[in-house]
Structure 1
């Protein structure tokens, strides 16, 4: 007699640890409660000092296994760690739209991307005393043309055991066709996966978590859609946290972070996981 199917193990990853104290606190609270099993760290963020690193390590140690990765950051309003990175807008990276266009027009230097990512990996290793478990990208920058070549070269050289995040959705075709932006991410992810495979770098089999951040979300309904059909080791991206002045000055994602945090910390979330035979452990 066959038993019940084992639960699917997925990654629920909170992006942007290091962007602000309020976001950091929200992420740590969810890790401590077992409501997240991954977070990615912005080493160029303004809230990633020693105390914030130690607090994250403490939260992860007391929870079920929590992966800690690098949130590679190459877009404004953040600044590079390397001195000669180009192109820049003043002393900041380009905005993500300009960065994407520059890559599409072959106006980036993959070697500069590689050097900057190598520096961010080194900064992570110095902060945490080890290399990142995985590496993803702020605003999906790792997928951009020319960026991906430099990104993957740095991972292969400096963190070869880390897996990297692609952003192809595991949704029916009808849902994919409804969003031109998401279709572009699917196309870029397919190209990214081919490059990663050629480099022998592991990546997640599927991705979910993106939605229209300009509207107040029903995050419970969104999470139901995100987990449906997501395979073993699939990744759901999220952005929980608390709004503070630092976040408001740096990022347009504000109130939705508190909505996400409220849902993930509530009792509907573990029920949704159980009903879908999904686990974060």
Structure 2
């Protein structure tokens, strides 16, 4: 690839299915050519067959124009969502454990790989039932696919149920000094090193680099963040995003609400395409 040729990246909207408002925003951005991937939560309340059909329609239209858009499985293993498998453990009141507890139990190896792998397999099966095909890729809600123990279950289930899918890793080849101000990025880098090794052993491909993690509670300027995400991102790198419109369903399930609308506004607006061009990247 010449120095002047644009690098093709993935811009993936997470959480399709979490609420009607999020679904509508994601479909609109795909139709505008502002996204080329989204991952669906089969355990979420807004992933009925009508919402799936609406997503497939807009993706089919983009594909017909030569702009491929991938649909993946957003494996979900944390509260407030509930498992599909009847005997999933550990659980809290019928729900998955909260993110901090799940991560902690992974580090001390107090998770059962077989039980987790069975749940992930059930989510793959639900995706195939809804969409009529295996997911093009697989990732994890709140990066749970990277956690110790969970990663082996996740990779094992993917290799069995979607062997042609690629998987999301959360590391980025950036100088250490540029990551020290982001503890979340440092943790994702550390977890992803082992994840990439295990994915390679399972003959699963993965994105070359990752960006998109930030402190949602600080409500930073998403335009500034996107510039940072794109800078130096290599070919086949991935930027995670969470656009959406706030509705009652979203408010009942997730603390990330109004920031989703800020993300949508920037991605749908006039400043985004020039930013892609200035960084010599394309979603095409």
Structure 1 stretches of 4+ with a deviation exceeding 6 A read: none
Q: How many residues align?
A: 280
Partners of 1:68 and 1:157 in 2: CA distance: 18
Secondary structure of 1:241's counterpart equals coil
Do the aligned residues in 2 keep the contact of 1:170 with 1:208 (CA within 8 Å)? no
1:195 to 192, 198, 202: 198
Partners of 2:277 and 2:243 in 1: CA distance: 21
Which region of structure 1 is more displaced relative to structure 2, 5-14 or 180-189?
A: 180-189
Residue in 1 aligned with 2:80?
A: 77
Partners of 2:14 and 2:183 in 1: CA distance: 23
Partners of 2:224 and 2:41 in 1: CA distance: 29
Secondary structure of 1:14's counterpart equals strand
2:220 to 217, 221, 227: 217
Relative to structure 1, the CA distance from residue 3 to residue 50 in structure 2 (aligned partners, 3 Å threshold; closer, same or farther) is closer
Partners of 1:227 and 1:181 in 2: CA distance: 18
Structure 2 runs not aligned, ≥5 long: none
Q: Displacement, 1:171?
A: 3.0
Relative to structure 1, the CA distance from residue 140 to residue 4 in structure 2 (aligned partners, 3 Å threshold; closer, same or farther) is closer
Residue in 1 aligned with 2:166?
A: 163
Do the aligned residues in 2 keep the contact of 1:69 with 1:132 (CA within 8 Å)? yes
Residue in 1 aligned with 2:39?
A: 40
Structure 1 runs not aligned, ≥5 long: none
TM-score, length basis structure 1 = 0.98
Do the aligned residues in 2 keep the contact of 1:170 with 1:229 (CA within 8 Å)? no
Q: Displacement, 1:3?
A: 7.5
TM-score, length basis structure 2 = 0.97
Do the aligned residues in 2 keep the contact of 1:152 with 1:199 (CA within 8 Å)? yes
Partners of 2:253 and 2:129 in 1: CA distance: 25
